[in-house]
Chains A and B, each alone.
Chain A
Amino acid sequence: MFAARVSAARNVQRVARSFATAVESSGVKVAAVDNNGPTSSLTVLVKAGSRYESQAGIANALKNYAFKSTAKRTALGTVRESELYGGVLTSTLGREHLALTAEFLRGDEAFFLDVLSSFVTSAKFTRHEFQEYVAPLIEGDAAAAASNPAILAIELAHLIAFRQGLGSSLYASSHPHFGYKDVQEYASSVFTKDNIAVIGTNVDQAKVAELVNKAFASASSAAGPATSASTYFGGENRIESSSGLQTAFIGFGTTGAPSAEVATLAAYLSPSPSVKWSKGTSALAAAIPEGASVQSVYLPYSDASLVGLLVQAPTAAGVKQAGQAAVQALKKAASGVSQEELTSAVAKAKFAAASAVDARAGLVATIGSKIFSGSDLSVASTLSTFDAVNASAFSKAASSLVSSKPTYVAVGEVGSLPYADELGL
């Protein structure tokens, strides 16, 4: 009897575990999936990333203004009331999207959607909150980014790869030249109905759609800020940094929708082992000197992607040695890989894409890029693109990437870190 009950429960779960499809609720896109988990989450995703910002750093300021005073609650009231419900509020900024997320116990979605939507529809953007709470957070973000050479390298790589749009930094300068009024103007330009999507996990889609319909009724229906399509440029740059490891980023960019081939290339290049505390089996993993690390970086956006290797080592000589190995691995991928290597790379990339959807942050990142373009949200559609990857398509994608102008960034001791040509680029 027990066995029967278990299998019945499993069947129920399988039926409920379908993936979200988007519906429109008073102009706002809504997608929700119920996995029968004990906690729920709601994310209000706004096309307000650094790509759309009117002044450098203003998207970061808007992110840090989240959950401050609104017409309905003060900043303190928001925090205390959420604490009483046992919820967690976060705001995260990407290059394309600003995500306002609430995680809470099942059944509290009405309250938390109200918290999220009141920031979008009726935030006050007061001057004293900007000075007392937001400015220190902007400075803190900027200081944390400045002390991390990996973040510096990726930021600079975006800048030289895409220049405008995706090139804008996620961080503001530590002494920003804008005030609270500019943030308010930016917010009113991006908080428009067709710029907003609501993504829920472990909540009933019909109920969320109904709540969204009410909550966002007063949102503006003007058009959001215009943006031009991304163009890939590439180039070389190096900046001095005294903190952290010596860092180099070797990357290539493509424009157009992210393809499964490029994701597979990133998985193929990744020297990270499948078993903890062991060394990876790829040729690149064997060539990396002791103490150095090489991480594969794959950053897909709606109309471009950046793929590459982030090389870090305690010394500039270590970066040079590991960087040469990384460039060799890139060139080898472009010249063609064996069927066996390709199969394992496809499996690795497919697993990465599938397991990203299991976590909330990954789900929002995966769905976020699709929900605004109106494409199929199901994870099956993402995974099926990997089934179509074959050796010729892979080597064609890899060789066209590698033949484009590389994006090379060195962060650390600029005097001794290698130049791109010294690594064989």
Chain B
Amino acid sequence: MAFGPLSISLAPYVQSSKTLLKWVQPLANWYANASRYRQYGFKYDDLLVEENPTVQRALSRLTPRETYDRAYRLKRASHASVLHAPLAKDQWTKPEEDVRYLVPHVSNVVAEDAERAKWDNVIVKKH
């Protein structure tokens, strides 16, 4: 899945190394703030490409509360976009609120699809 919702990422490697994390994290935080999605009240997972069956299935697994909040963030951000201005500062997403609420579901769906493919192509050996 090079270009899918779970594209190639160095994050797990960086997170596994304490030294590397110490150097990269300030840069990553700066980049996340500089990309300004937090100023429009988004969480990072709101930006995940959702126009594919995998993410659609993952979206259906959110709790009703998560689905509602996601729709609210999208509407609020669309409105801010129409006004050509970021939200008021108290409505910006705080870094600790920017959690990956969707990606775990996406990885579950990807794992299920992979398992289905495995069973569809399994070669049975009787011994």
Please state if A127 and B119 are interface contacts (CB–CB under 8 Å).
no
Q: How large is the interface on B (under 10, 10 to 19, 20 to 34, 35 or more residues)?
A: 10 to 19
Number of A-B contacts (CB under 8 A): 21
A198 to chain B, nearest CB (A): 27
Q: State the CA gap A76–B105 with chains docked (Å).
A: 17
Q: What mask results when residues 50 to 70 of chain B are scored 1 for a CB within 8 Å of chain A, else 0? A: 000000000011010000000
Please state if B61 and A76 are interface contacts (CB–CB under 8 Å).
no
**CB within 8 Å for A76 and B124 given contacts A127-B61, A128-B61, A131-B61:** no
B115 is contacted by which of A74, A127, A132 (Cβ under 8 Å)? Answer: A74
Please state if B119 and A80 are interface contacts (CB–CB under 8 Å).
yes
**A77 interface residue (CB < 8 Å to B):** yes
A76 is contacted by which of B60, B63, B108, B112 (Cβ under 8 Å)? Answer: B112
Interface of B is mostly: helix
Residues of A within 8 A of B60 (CB): 128, 131-132
**A84 interface residue (CB < 8 Å to B):** yes
Interface of A is mostly: helix
- Chain A stretch 88-145: residues in CB contact (< 8 A) with chain B: 127-128, 131-132
Please state if B124 and A77 are interface contacts (CB–CB under 8 Å).
no
Residues of B within 8 A of A80 (CB): 119, 122
B112 is contacted by which of A74, A84, A127, A131 (Cβ under 8 Å)? Answer: A74
A69 to chain B, nearest CB (A): 10
Residues of B within 8 A of A128 (CB): 60-61, 105, 108
Please state if B119 and A77 are interface contacts (CB–CB under 8 Å).
yes
Q: State the CA gap A77–B116 with chains docked (Å).
A: 8
Q: What mask results when residues 324 to 365 of chain A are scored 1 for a CB within 8 Å of chain B, else 0? A: 000000000000000000000000000000000000000000
Q: What mask results when residues 31 to 62 of chain B are scored 1 for a CB within 8 Å of chain A, else 0? A: 00000000000000000000000000000110
**CB within 8 Å for A84 and B61 given contacts A74-B115, A77-B119:** no
Nearest residue (CB) in B for A128 is B61
Please state if A84 and B115 are interface contacts (CB–CB under 8 Å).
no
Q: State the CA gap A127–B108 with chains docked (Å).
A: 13
Residues of B within 8 A of A84 (CB): 122, 124
- Chain B stretch 78-105: residues in CB contact (< 8 A) with chain A: 105
Residues of B within 8 A of A74 (CB): 112, 115
B19 to chain A, nearest CB (A): 35
Q: State the CA gap A61–B116 with chains docked (Å).
A: 25
Task: For the A-B complex with A74-B112, A77-B115, A132-B60 known, give 5 more contacts whose Cβ atoms are closer than 8 Å.
Answer: A74-B115, A76-B115, A84-B124, A127-B63, A128-B61
Q: Footprint of A on B, CB under 8 Å?
A: 60-61, 63, 105, 108, 112, 115-116, 119, 122, 124
Q: Footprint of B on A, CB under 8 Å?
A: 74, 76-77, 80, 84, 127-128, 131-132
